Amino acid sequence: MATFVENVGRKSLAQLDYLGRLSIQFWETLRSIKAALPFVGNRYRWQSSVRQMLQIGVDALPMVALMATCTGFILAMQGASELRRLGALHFVIDLVAVGFTRELGPLLTAIAVSGRSGSAFAAEIGTMKVTEELDSLRVMALEPVEFLLAPKYLAALITVPCLTIAANVCGIFAGGMFMFFSTHLSPLLYVREALDSIALRDVITGLIKSVVFATIIAHVSCLEGFRVSGGADAVGRSTTSAVVKSTFLVIVADAVFTAIFYFTGKP
């Protein structure tokens, strides 16, 4: 019994330690993110941010677009098979448009970014840790959080909402394709119906979610990299851990946000 209690206590303390480190890292990043801004910050940090934007955003665009298009088709087809029986096939438009802007766009994008860029962040920082490159930065009077994390975080904050908008457009476009081929609904009418069904608050809540998801992915993945100790195997473990933890936390955060928006009357 004592061993069980000890184990629970040890694991609880480890989780609290993790949360504490995450919080400290978050505040340190907020303090140093000014250095990554254009005009007011350090121009090398801004250049690094732009490079990260290309990697996180532009390079991921084809993958996110394809994932959103496929999901749009799936959602439209699954919805149509049920709604057709009720004679409410036109509600497929609402289902796809609202479903994507509120939920699927931000979530799909976050999962893609977590898998692509979260793993890359953890692997890059973890490798730098085991090859003493982080120590090199410190002895050169450069802070790793400012030098490595701030540009990544700034890039994620800008690109993840942009990717989310792209995912929304692709998903809704896929729904339109389905409606055109299955009911010969004109694309113009489809667009008008889709725009009518989306409220501005749906778009805003989706974008708020995507900013939170970007924060989770950047910070959890970088922390996993900073926590690496050992050799190449530890880098591999941290990469896996970064993807698993950030995806898990993104889904938990999504549930929390959806509940908040639902119960505050802003679903």
Partner 1 sequence: MKPIISVRNLVVEYEERRVLDGINLDIEAGETMVLLGGSGSGKSTLLRHIIGLESPKSGSVLVKGTDITRCSPAELKAVRRSIGVAFQSAALFNSLSVKDNVALTLREHTALAPSIIDLVVWMKLAVVGLEDFGTLYPQELSGGMKKRGAVARALALDPEILVLDEPSAGLDPIVAAELDELILLLKQTFQMTVIVVTHELPSAFRIADRIAMLHQGVFRSIGTKDEVKASRDPYVRHFLDRVPENMASAPAVAAYFEKYLHTQEAQE
Q: Is 42 in the site for partner 1 (CB under 8 A)?
A: yes
- List C-alpha distances in Å: 155 to 37, 79, 119, 247, 265: 10, 36, 16, 19, 32
- Minimal distance in Å, beta carbon 223 to partner 1? 19
Asked if 138 interacts with partner 1 (CB under 8 A), we say yes
142 binds partner 1 (CB under 8 A): yes
Tell me which DSSP letter residue 86 carries.
T
- Torsion sign, CA atoms 20, 260, 264, 164: positive
| Residue 143: CB minimum distance to partner 1, A | 9
Residues 52 and 153 sit within 8 Å (Cβ to Cβ): no
State the virtual CA torsion across 162, 194, 174, 254 in degrees, nearest 10: 50
Closer CB to partner 1, 111 or 128, in the complex: 128
Which range of residues in 90-98, 129-137, 186-194, 220-228 is near partner 1 by CB under 8 A?
129-137
Query: Per CB under 8 A, which of residues 181..220 are in contact with partner 1?
Result: none
Cα 100–187–82 angle (5° rounding)? 55
Choose, by CB under 8 A, the member of 27, 44, 248, 262 that binds partner 1: 44
Query: Of the candidates 18, 88, 115, 133, which one interacts with partner 1 according to CB under 8 A?
Result: 133
Q: How far is the CB of 47 from partner 1 (least distance, A)?
A: 11
By the rule CB under 8 A, 135 interacts with partner 1? yes
Rg of the chain in Å (alpha carbons): 21
Which spans of this chain sit near partner 1 (rule: CB under 8 A)? 42, 44, 128, 131-133, 135-136, 138-142
